[in-house]
């Protein structure tokens, strides 16, 4: 009975060395698993922190690279926009020059035509002023020719035009 007391007393204290009891074996396994779990979780948290820092560093590098790429694209776009603006300016200047040349040419021709018309009208006016009888005779003859042409057209034997009969059918 003394033997029983020492093993149960030692087991109650948790300092027993007897491996026969199932409770003492479970306690020793729990203690071992706690100590190994704590060491694993500490290592995992240190590894986790290191991997987090590494991934943050990699993300920062990628972000910096993307910013450089965006800046490079912006520069390329601005260069292309400048080239397009220069091309458009050239087209506009060319069109403006052509329009100016056309306008100046047309203006010159119009002023020469107006000058010729003025000269001819002045010569006709002088002729009419110098020969009023000739002008009156010419107007009378023109009126008679117009009257005869109107009478000749109106003497059509058909009372109705052909196109009107087509619509009535």
What SS3 state is found at 14? Answer: coil
Residue 147 lies in a domain: yes
The answer to whether residue 6 sits within a structural domain is no
φ and ψ of 28, to 5 deg = -70, -35
pTM score > 0.85 for this model? no
Cα separation, 130 vs 1, in Å, equals: 171
Position 161 in a domain = no
In a domain, 160, yes or no: no
How far is Cα 96 from Cα 90, in angstroms, rounded to an integer?
A: 10
pLDDT (tens digit, 9 = 90+) per residue, 74-113? Answer: 999 999 999 999 999 989 999 999 988 888 888 889 999 9
Domain that holds residue 126: 18-152
On whether the CB atoms of residues 10 and 16 are closer than 8 A, the answer is yes
- Residue 13 neighbours by CB under 8 Å, 6+ apart: none
Count up the domains in the chain and report the number: 1
Neighbours of 21 (CB within 10 A): 14
Tell me the pLDDT of the chain averaged across its residues.
77
**Is 106 part of a structural domain of the chain?**
yes
Q: From residue 93, how far is each of 1, 89, 98 by CA, in Å?
A: 120, 6, 9
* Pair of tokens at residue 152: 């000749």
Q: In this structure, is residue 51 part of a structural domain? A: yes
Task: Report yes or no on 76 lying in a domain.
Answer: yes
Tens-place pLDDT, residues 107-138: 889 999 999 999 999 998 888 888 888 888 98
Residue 115 lies in a domain: yes
- Which residue has better confidence, 163 or 5? 163
Give me the phi and psi of 133, to 5 degrees please: -70, -40
């Amino acid at each position: 009975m003394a033997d029983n007391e020492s093993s149960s007393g030692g087991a109650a204290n948790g300092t027993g060395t007897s491996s026969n009891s199932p409770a003492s074996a479970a306690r020793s396994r729990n203690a071992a698993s706690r100590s190994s779990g704590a060491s694993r979780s500490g290592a995992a948290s240190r590894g986790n922190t290191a991997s987090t820092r590494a991934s943050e560093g990699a993300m920062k590098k990628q972000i910096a690279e993307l910013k450089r790429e965006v800046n490079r694209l912006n520069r390329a776009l601005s260069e292309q926009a400048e080239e397009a603006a220069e091309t458009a300016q050239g087209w506009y200047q060319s069109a403006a020059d052509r329009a100016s040349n056309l306008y100046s040419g047309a203006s010159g021709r119009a002023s020469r035509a107006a000058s010729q018309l003025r000269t001819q009208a002045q010569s006709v006016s002088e002729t009419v002023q110098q020969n009023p009888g000739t002008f009156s005779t010419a107007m009378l003859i023109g009126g008679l020719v117009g009257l005869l042409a109107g009478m000749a057209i109106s003497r059509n034997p058909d009372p109705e035009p052909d196109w009107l009969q087509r619509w009535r059918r």
